[in-house]
Structure 1
Amino acid sequence: MKFDKALVYRIRGVRTPLAAAVLLGALAALLIIAQAFCLSSIISGVFLGGRTVRQVWGTLLVLLSVIAARGTLAWSSEVTANRAGGRTRTELRERLVTHLFALGPAYIKGERSGELVSVLCEGVEALDPYVSQYLPQVVLAVLVPTILLAAIFWIDVPSGVILLIVTPILPFIMAVVGMMARAETKRQWRSLGLMSAHFLDVLQGLTTLKIFGGSRRQVEAIRHTSDRFRRTTMRMLRVAFFSSLVLELGATISTAVIAVEIGLRLLDGLMPFQQALFVLLLAPEYFLPLRLLGARYHAGMTGKVAGQRIADILNTPVAVSQPPARPSLSQFIAGGTIHFERVGYIYDGQRPALHDVSFDIQPGKKVALVGPSGAGKSTVAHLLLRFIEAERGAVLVDGTPLEKIPVQQWRKCIAWVPEHPYLFHATVAENIRLGCEQASLSAVIEAAQLA
């Protein structure tokens, strides 16, 4: 799936900081013009006009004020953009965790947990520089050169024409290098996901590996996987450094062309010194946003690749319906008879898990599901927990279809102990309180005794 920028723009409180960062950058461009004008005026007045420092003191104070204001605007723009990046990280991670919980184990079972952890950690972190650096710079790379080009055209038309001619070279170089970088970035991200998934799988099965003497083989496998990730990372870095070299070279040559053109006209007396110096000071600033975009392009590309995987997860539909809450249902849910009526379910549209399964679960009775691995016991549990819905037949609670009961109301009436219970890194009391965080200590002790 292609990365959709709306994934970022729909996050609360992101659009305004990004717009503010761009606005501050545009104001800084106006200060660049003022800085170049003041500096060229001072140098021209002192070295050619014979003015003293006292005579240019007012202009010098203005120059110092402009430099300070430009630095303040640059700092404010960066802080504002970083705030947008922080909000993106926080909200996307919360949305991912919430959606994964809603998808349930039926979805997670088909994924590698290490890869999902990598998406939640490194993937979300990769979107921070994409939002805080790349997105504002894309706009500034167009806006700032346009403002400076207008000022250069106003002062000296020939220099503006030359800049207008050489400018498309840099975006063309970025496009060519970007096609190379995109493939390397995807390859590196895929390699990172495989390494994370494999490493976590090994950690989870470390005891089994030790028992059967397979730990040494996995050491070699981890070494091979990490070495493959190192090679893909180095290839991506080579592309990044090469693109930076080409962009710097292109910007330097373009600035040199402007300098030579201005120098020749200055020697022939066709251009005043202050005007020539003003244009020459603006030329490097004109190419600076494009160079910064090239430097941040690879961070943006990594964010795009990570964002594609995040979008894939968030766009995965939840398998169960969400009817509105009905308080009247709570009275009979806990004491109702659960009836499976010719229930059928097929995984991925191909692998049948249940076929015409019918049975009753009476209140207060114990029912055991017995069968070989793959017989559908876990599928029945997933149906009861509302992680999936029956494709054929019906699951009824006192005659009410299970899908008509709100998920949260239904799950409040169910206690679930998995095949392999997991104790989180907390106290025993905190583990018991997972189902009811407000439970008192006496209630926790009573629950432990009943268990």
Structure 2
Amino acid sequence: MGKDLWKLQGIRLVMLLTALLTLLQTIVIVLQSVWLAQAVSGLFSGDTLQSQLGHIGGFVSALIARQFLSMLLQKLAYDFAERTGQQFRRALIDQLFALGPRYAMGQGTGNLVTLVREGIAKYRTYLELIIPRMVSNGLTPLFIGIYVLRLDWISAMILGLVFPILIAFMILLGLAAQKQMDRQWATYRVLSNHFVDSLRGLETLRFLGRSRAHAVTIGRTSEQYRKATIGSMRVAFLSSFALDFFTMLSVAFVAVSLGLRLVHGEMLLEPALTILMLAPEFFVPIRSLGADYHATMDGKEAGEEIQRMMQQPIPGQSSNSSIACKESHATFNESYATFNESYATFNESYAAINESHAIFKRSRIVRNESASDNRTWNEASTLMIEAVSIHYGHDSQHSTWQTTNRSEVTSIQADQAPIVHDRYTALTNVSLNWQGYGKIGIIGASGAGKSTLIDLLAGFLVPDEGQAIWRDAHGHSSQLHGQHWRTAAAYIPQHPYIFSGTLRDNIALYEPNATESEVAEAAQCAGLGKLLQSLPQGLNEHVGEGGRMLSGGQEQRVALARALLGQRHVLLLDEPTAHLDIETEYELKQTMLPLFDNKLVLLATHRLHWMTDMDWIIVMEQGQIVEQGTHQGLLEQNGLYCSWINEQWEGSA
């Protein structure tokens, strides 16, 4: 049993109760054997059945009590495992939302879904089985051995000599099983991610005529998982055989020793029968532990993976305040208010993990409260980015989350998260100061740092150097990763996620209590009027998987409608039209531009035609702001932006 289990909230009380129940069960087992041996020896010596009814009744009562205590032990372990599993799931989801979408992307969707659903269920099973097995393995053989020693020291010596051998053998097999389970779990993660990626890309594979060829890759990945599973089963079967062999051999030695002394009249029948019945009970706990240990190894691996994620440092917090497994559980149970805050954070950020880069669900109450205390963005609000630098590397909190396409920095292998080979500076000395509403364009080539800057503005990243804050009309300053900014800003990613449900549910994702007229108005403003007219059920039409599939432009309009329904005055757009054809992009552009009025809009793109409609333009190259100004002002500077405009003009000519 890992030492991390002692860090779980409530584990000490559970262990104490389990120990008490196990001790009572051990006493009942001894009494059961004693009463049965007395009844058998009495009948063997010629006593009547009526004279042994007391011993027989005691045996039956002990048998019933043993089963009742076993049920209590199972109930106690099950309740604790179920409660801990629920806490683990909530704490893990909170941690994933706190870490942000970059970390989730680096881990893989299939791996995270498998871990949250199946991994926690397996860890719950591991706790349910391993706790009573470990306690009984420590107490039952000890007390049975003491009682056997009281009756016969030779039998106790035989049992005592075999038990350490079994322990040593289990340790050796456990190390082999650990290696096999590590391999199996790693292969299972690869299979999960590969399966999800295959489903997502199936349409593209069919379009390119590569769907059948891709079956070979699926078969190879499945074969690797099959071999890893067979290897684990092989070790488990070997362990079971070894345990059964040594325990049966030990019981046989005890039986032979007792039989020889009975024949020579050196021992009485009653204590010999008692020892013979207690000898198998002496090995029952370790045999059960061996069987359940291999059956729950995948749960232990899942628990360690969960704890590794829970111990990741959260952006904006020091390493000392990162959410470790024990801290999240202790916090959850010690304070119900903390639980409510954690669960509120989960509700606010439900959309983030599904939209890859969407953030923090908010309710209508938050909107009304923020309007009343002026903590929303208005003409007097100020955004201040001062000398911000963000690094990716082994000594940075963002190292594991760097998943951009810089091949010289990051290499992504099939069975693990991205590996950062060296420290890399994503943003260097970036500064921006803006007050009130306006449209700010962020332009640059791929890898220039546009998405990193948008992630900073969205609160997904925290500066390693400098500060990123905003100030409201009353002069109150807040960090961009704080709660007020999250409820004031809306993030529209490049690939919005469309849930399997009605169109209304997808638009009202951030505002589930919105009225039908409010949803319809947001849809009309986002340019979904033609789509609504073409749908037989209008807003109640089922979209997404299992329903009507939307085009890329329609998905972007749904994302825009979500932001409009939330009435947020800060819009952050990261390459919102990069995957659209030029006709669809221009059509969507005409829809979006009027909606940018009376809002602060920060648009990251490499499409230059957007820049003529921007109030301010930021030109980025290699993580730095090399130019900024208005469109006309940058043309007059005759710098990098001007050269891009000229290249585009020459290319179009």
TM-score normalised according to structure 1 size: 0.92
Mark the CA change 1:275 to 1:439 in structure 2 (over 3 Å): closer, same or farther: same
Separation in 2 of the partners of 1:32 and 1:274? 16
**Contact 1:346 / 1:353 at 8 angstroms: preserved in 2?**
yes
Q: 1:44 is aligned with what amino acid?
A: S
Displacement after TM superposition at 1:406 (Å)? 6.6
Task: Note the alpha carbon deviations across 1:125-183, whole angstroms, 9 max, x for none.
Answer: 22123211113211211100011111111222222222222221111111121121111
Alignment equivalent of 2:141, drawn from 140, 145, 157 = 145
Alignment equivalent of 1:59, drawn from 13, 33, 55 = 55
Matched, 1:47 2:29: no
Mark the CA change 1:299 to 1:411 in structure 2 (over 3 Å): closer, same or farther: same
Instruction: Give the match for residue 352 of structure 1.
Output: 425
Instruction: Give the match for residue 463 of structure 2.
Output: 390
Displacement after TM superposition at 1:369 (Å)? 1.7
Matched, 1:23 2:96: no
**Contact 2:458 / 2:480 at 8 angstroms: preserved in 1?**
no
Separation in 2 of the partners of 1:275 and 1:339? 86
Separation in 2 of the partners of 1:368 and 1:299? 56
Q: 1:218 is aligned with what amino acid?
A: H
Q: 1:410 is aligned with what amino acid?
A: W
Mark the CA change 1:333 to 1:344 in structure 2 (over 3 Å): closer, same or farther: farther
Mark the CA change 1:355 to 1:4 in structure 2 (over 3 Å): closer, same or farther: farther
CA RMSD of aligned residues (A): 2.6
Separation in 1 of the partners of 2:317 and 2:172? 46
Mark the CA change 1:365 to 1:13 in structure 2 (over 3 Å): closer, same or farther: same
Instruction: Give the match for residue 126 of structure 1.
Output: 122
Matched, 1:434 2:509: yes
Separation in 2 of the partners of 1:307 and 1:36? 39
Separation in 1 of the partners of 2:25 and 2:523? 64
Displacement after TM superposition at 1:403 (Å)? 6.0
**Contact 1:129 / 1:299 at 8 angstroms: preserved in 2?**
no
Matched, 1:342 2:387: yes
From the two aligned structures, give the one with the greater helix fraction.
1
Alignment equivalent of 2:106, drawn from 89, 105, 110 = 110
Map 1:201-216; keep pairs closer than 5 Å: 201-216=197-212
**Contact 2:469 / 2:479 at 8 angstroms: preserved in 1?**
no
Displacement after TM superposition at 1:86 (Å)? 1.5
Separation in 2 of the partners of 1:437 and 1:73? 48
Map 1:201-350; keep pairs closer than 5 Å: 201-321=197-317, 331=374, 333-335=376-378, 336-348=381-393, 350=423
Gaps of 5+ in 1: none
Pick which of 18-27 and 408-417 moved more. 18-27
TM-score normalised according to structure 2 size: 0.64
Instruction: Give the match for residue 158 of structure 1.
Output: 154
What SS is found at the alignment partner of 1:352? strand
From the two aligned structures, give the one with the greater strand fraction.
2
Separation in 2 of the partners of 1:313 and 1:134? 23
Separation in 2 of the partners of 1:162 and 1:289? 17
**Contact 1:338 / 1:361 at 8 angstroms: preserved in 2?**
yes
Displacement after TM superposition at 1:381 (Å)? 1.6
Mark the CA change 1:447 to 1:18 in structure 2 (over 3 Å): closer, same or farther: farther
Mark the CA change 1:34 to 1:252 in structure 2 (over 3 Å): closer, same or farther: same
What SS is found at the alignment partner of 2:90? helix
Matched, 1:415 2:496: no
**Contact 1:18 / 1:81 at 8 angstroms: preserved in 2?**
no
**Contact 2:455 / 2:461 at 8 angstroms: preserved in 1?**
yes
Q: 1:345 is aligned with what amino acid?
A: I
**Contact 1:14 / 1:87 at 8 angstroms: preserved in 2?**
no
Count of aligned pairs between the two proteins: 446
What SS is found at the alignment partner of 1:367? strand
Matched, 1:425 2:504: no
What SS is found at the alignment partner of 1:196? helix
**Contact 2:388 / 2:463 at 8 angstroms: preserved in 1?**
yes
**Contact 1:28 / 1:73 at 8 angstroms: preserved in 2?**
yes
Larger relative contact order (Cα-Cα within 8 Å, sequence gap ≥ 6): 1
Displacement after TM superposition at 1:18 (Å)? 4.5
Displacement after TM superposition at 1:75 (Å)? 1.7
Pick which of 8-17 and 366-375 moved more. 8-17
Separation in 2 of the partners of 1:339 and 1:383? 12
Instruction: Give the match for residue 446 of structure 2.
Output: 373
Map 1:439-450; keep pairs closer than 5 Å: 439-450=514-525
Separation in 2 of the partners of 1:200 and 1:330? 44
Displacement after TM superposition at 1:258 (Å)? 0.5
Separation in 2 of the partners of 1:340 and 1:20? 56
Displacement after TM superposition at 1:235 (Å)? 0.9
Separation in 1 of the partners of 2:221 and 2:520? 47
Task: Note the alpha carbon deviations across 1:186-236, whole angstroms, 9 max, x for none.
Answer: 111111111111111121222222222222232110110001100110011
Separation in 2 of the partners of 1:355 and 1:16? 52
Mark the CA change 1:219 to 1:131 in structure 2 (over 3 Å): closer, same or farther: same
**Contact 2:33 / 2:278 at 8 angstroms: preserved in 1?**
yes
Task: Note the alpha carbon deviations across 1:227-247, whole angstroms, 9 max, x for none.
Answer: 110011001101100110001
Q: 2:280 is aligned with what amino acid?
A: P
Displacement after TM superposition at 1:437 (Å)? 3.5
